[in-house]
A and B are shown apart, each in its own frame.
Chain A
Amino acid sequence: SYFISFSFQQRIEIHKLRQGDNLILGFSIGGGIDQDPTQNPFSEDKTDKGIYVTRVTEGGPAEVAGLQIGDKIMQVNGWDMTMVTHDQARKRLTKRNEEVVRLLVTRQSLQKAVQQSMMS
């Protein structure tokens, strides 16, 4: 059997949780055009300077909404996130007047060959 890797896009809607004075989403991001892309453990292409999800807190809004660690965030509420600095990405996610963020993420997946699954 062999593995195929492909990526598919997914739309995720996260409802922010209020904690004190802050609205939190429950995950951490890494990456950005001002960062060092070679240190990104989740990207397949080490020159990819996009924004990646590096951690998802358990039970947080992001996990509930289906965000997974390693996802690449392509858009946030329609704003493009593939060519932004780290700080710009953070700002776009943490706007104070938004309670819901709609993310377009790309996820990589490994799947066994379809042929094998058909044979078994």
Chain B
Amino acid sequence: MSAAMDTESTYSGYSHYSGHSKKAHRQGRDRHKSPRSKDGSRSEKSVTIQTPPAEPLLGNDASRTEEGQDDNWGETTTAITGTSEHSISQEDIARISKDLEDSVGLDCKRYLGLTVAAVLGLLVFLTPIAFILLPQILWRDDLEPCGTVCEGLFISVAFKLLILLIGTWALFFRQPKADLPRVFVFRAILLVLIFLFVFSYWLFYGVRILDSKDTNYQGIVQYAVSLVDALLFIHYLAIVLLELRQLQPMFTVKVVRSTDGESRYYSLGHLSIQRAALVVLENYYRDFTVYNPALLTASKSRAAKHMAGLKVYNVDGPGNNPSGQSRAMIAAAARRRDSSHNELYYEEADHERRVKKRRARLVVAVEEAFTHIKRLQAEEQQKAPGEMMDPREAAQAIFPSMARALQKYLRTTRQQQYHSMESILQHLSFCITNNMTPKAFLERYLNPGPTLQYDRDRWFSKQWTLVSEEAVTSGLQDGIVFVLKCLDFSLVVNVKKIPFIKLSEEFIDPKSHKFVLRLQSETSV
């Protein structure tokens, strides 16, 4: 299942189906809900990174120490993709039916994991209480009376359990942010540790105390207290392993988008590859400008034209020598004197000029439109009741005067599919409500923003696959490269270690700041 993760073979674009989930069905419902413009874009309606919030745990269970019902819980899901809503081919149907069968398996796995964790948590929480209560229930009469000391210990057990409860709630009860491919190693280790620990305590208790009906009640209570103390220490260990260790930055990660080369750098601590991928993706949505396939057509057409002019004929017989052919083509292409660089230069210069002209027209139109709107002061509201409008109406009133200029500008910068008229009107009324200037209104249209700014339907990147030569649960090392692929493009991530910095000090006495004047004068005599 997860083997597909690591060895990405290249099928066609549709074939990332290694997966399964009933989410495909949920997406099916969404498909019918939101009509989409038929602009030929192949965007995905598949599982996104945000999974729905997991149901809250069994109510009174809250003090499971380490396990979270939450993010990165140990199911081994693999990449899940959906189908395009416009065309369903035969293979897709076959795959959908396969998904149906697999999806049941996956959900069982995830819920099984959650249940096990919940049971373990409940067990762990109730164990100290059981240790204290069992002797009272079973052989109450034989117990030595133990007065103030025991009561003090009861109070301490109660409060420590309360603290454990609050700590676990604060730290581990979070909504899952993502589906990760593999088990989170540290969590698994901690779970096993807790299980062994509690098991050994019970073993000792069963053999030494229950069987022999120990009468020293104070000792038993102290035994229970030691268990709770140890649980608190394990909680501390969990914080250090799961939260603190990756805070200190150790690696610098360069993320490059494959289609247009946009790159960013991030600092990460000691993380596993899958968690590093998660951090990169979270930052991708905020930092990278939105992927716009319309901007890539120019370079593609140039590349096509470049190779289209050459044909290779094999006159030596049927022997097929592909490498020789390609080398011949490359050599011929290099020798051919073409002026495509010239074309590119003039085309780009022309485009720049056009964009600037349209931008100027747009700015002027918007500024003029905004002057027509004036916010009414409170006392003027009584004087002119007839003309009052709410922001939406005001927006609709001034929109026509700038609509044409805005549309032309968006067409020139190829952003028109990202902004519908409704969204523009909405943004306009938002700006009017918040007293924004025309420039603030235009900020969203003049520069392409990050992916988060746009409507979910316009994202080309909702389903990601992690491609890595190393195991995705292994930690980051210097020189690791992994790729985050989505259907239309990929992000290549290159990890570099932050260099060891040797810092030494030099003390300069402030009194030593003395200066001389160095001149070279020339005097005529």
A interface with B by C-beta (< 8 Å): 24-25, 27-32, 34-36, 39-40, 54-55, 57, 86, 90, 93-94
Q: Is B525 an interface residue (CB 8 A)?
A: yes
Can you list, as one digit per residue, whether each of B489-525 has a CB less than 8 Å from chain A (1) or not (0)?
A: 0000000000000000000000000000011111111
Q: Determine if A36 and B518 form an interchain contact, defined as CB atoms under 8 angstroms apart.
A: yes
Please, which residues of chain A bring their CB within 8 A of the CB of B518? 35-36, 39
Give the complex CA separation of A105 and B387 in angstroms. Answer: 97
Residues of B within 8 A of A90 (CB): 523, 525
Q: Are A55 and B522 in contact (CB under 8 A)?
A: yes
- How far does the alpha carbon of A35 sit from the alpha carbon of B523 in the complex, in Å? 12
Contact A24 B521 (CB under 8 A): no
A29 adjacent to B519 (CB under 8 Å): no
Q: Closest B-chain residue to A52, C-beta based?
A: B522
A28, B523: Cβ atoms under 8 Å?
yes
Q: Which residues of B contact A39 (CB under 8 A)?
A: 518, 520
- CB neighbours (8 Å) of A28 from chain B are 522-525
Contact B524 A40 (CB under 8 A): no
User: Could you list some 25 contacts between A and B, CB below 8 A?
Assistant: A25-B525, A27-B525, A28-B522, A28-B524, A28-B525, A29-B522, A29-B523, A29-B524, A29-B525, A30-B520, A30-B521, A30-B522, A30-B523, A32-B521, A34-B519, A35-B518, A36-B519, A36-B520, A39-B518, A39-B520, A40-B520, A86-B523, A90-B523, A90-B525, A94-B525
> Most chain-A Cβ atoms within 10 A of its Cβ — which of B518, B522, B525?
B525
- In the bound assembly, the distance between CA atoms of A25 and B525 in angstroms comes to 6
Closest to B523 in A: A90
Contact assessment for B519 and A93 in the assembled complex, using a CB-CB cutoff below 8 Å = no
Task: List 19 other contacts, CB 8 Å, given A35-B519, A39-B520, A55-B522.
Answer: A27-B525, A28-B523, A29-B522, A29-B523, A29-B525, A30-B520, A30-B521, A30-B522, A35-B520, A35-B521, A36-B519, A36-B520, A54-B522, A55-B524, A57-B524, A86-B521, A86-B523, A90-B523, A94-B525
Q: How far is the CA of A28 from the CA of B522 in the complex (A)?
A: 6
Beta-carbon nearest neighbor of A16 in chain B: B525
- Once bound together, how far apart are the Cα atoms of A43 and B522, in whole Å? 15
Q: Which residues of A lie under 8 Å from residue B519 when comparing CB positions?
A: 34-36
CA distance A45 to B110 in the complex (A): 85
* A32 to B523 CA separation, bound complex (whole angstroms): 11
- A32 to B522, alpha carbons, bound, how many Å? 10
Residue pair B525, A93 in contact (C-beta under 8 Å): yes
Residues of A within 8 A of B520 (CB): 30-31, 35-36, 39-40
Which residues of chain B are near A27, meaning CB under 8 Å? 524-525
Residues of A within 8 A of B523 (CB): 28-30, 86, 90
Contacts of A25 in B (CB 8 A): 525
Q: In angstroms, how far is the closest chain A Cβ from the Cβ of B448? A: 54
Chain A residues, Cβ within 8 Å of B521: 30, 32, 35, 86
Rounded to whole Å, the gap between the CB of A15 and the closest CB of chain B is: 14
Cα A32 to Cα B518 in complex, Å, equals 11
Closest residue on chain B to residue A23 by CB atoms: B525
Residues on the A chain within 8 Å of B525, using CB:
24-25, 27-29, 90, 93-94
Closest 9 CB pairs of A and B: A36-B518, A39-B520, A28-B524, A93-B525, A30-B522, A25-B525, A90-B523, A28-B522, A54-B522
Interface string of B51-76 (1 = CB under 8 A from A): 00000000000000000000000000
When chains A and B are docked, how far (Å) is the Cα of A54 from the Cα of B525? 11
Which chain B residues lie closer than 8 Å to A54 at the CB level? 522
Cα–Cα, bound, A55→B524 (Å): 8
In the complex, residue of chain B having the shortest beta-carbon distance to the beta carbon of A90: B523
Report Cα–Cα, A36/B520, bound state, in Å: 6
A31 — which chain B residues lie within 8 A by C-beta? 520
- Report the minimal beta-carbon distance from B519 to chain A, rounded to whole angstroms: 6
- Looking at the assembled complex, report how far the CB atom of A78 sits from the nearest CB atom of chain B, in whole angstroms: 18
Bound-state Cα–Cα, A55 to B522, Å = 9
Which of chain B's residues has its CB closest to A14's CB? B525
- How many whole Å from A70's CB to the nearest CB in chain B? 13
> In whole angstroms, how far apart are the Cα atoms of A34 and B523 in the complex?
14
**Cβ of A94: which chain B residues have Cβ within 8 Å of it?**
525
* CB of A68 to closest CB in B, whole Å: 16
Which residues of chain A have C-beta atoms less than 8 A from B522's C-beta? 28-30, 54-55
A95 to B452, CA, bound (A): 84
User: Cβ of A57: which chain B residues have Cβ within 8 Å of it?
Assistant: 524
Q: Which residues of chain B have C-beta atoms less than 8 A from A86's C-beta?
A: 521, 523
Distance in angstroms between the alpha carbons of A57 and B524 in the assembled complex:
10
Chain A minimum-CB-distance residue to B521: A86
Task: Map CB proximity to A onto B110-125 as digits: 1 under 8 Å, 0 otherwise.
Answer: 0000000000000000
Q: How far is the CA of A28 from the CA of B524 in the complex (A)?
A: 4
Q: A25: nearest residue on chain B (CB-CB)?
A: B525
Query: In the complex the two chains form, what is the Cα distance from A57 to B525 in whole Å?
Result: 10
CB distance from B518 to the nearest CB of A (A): 4
Please indicate the chain B residues that have their CB under 8 angstroms from the CB of A29 in the complex.
Answer: 522-525
- Look across to chain B and name the residue whose beta carbon is closest to the beta carbon of A30: B522
With a CB–CB cut-off of 8 A, which chain A residues contact B524?
24, 27-29, 55, 57
| B381-412, CB < 8 A from A | none
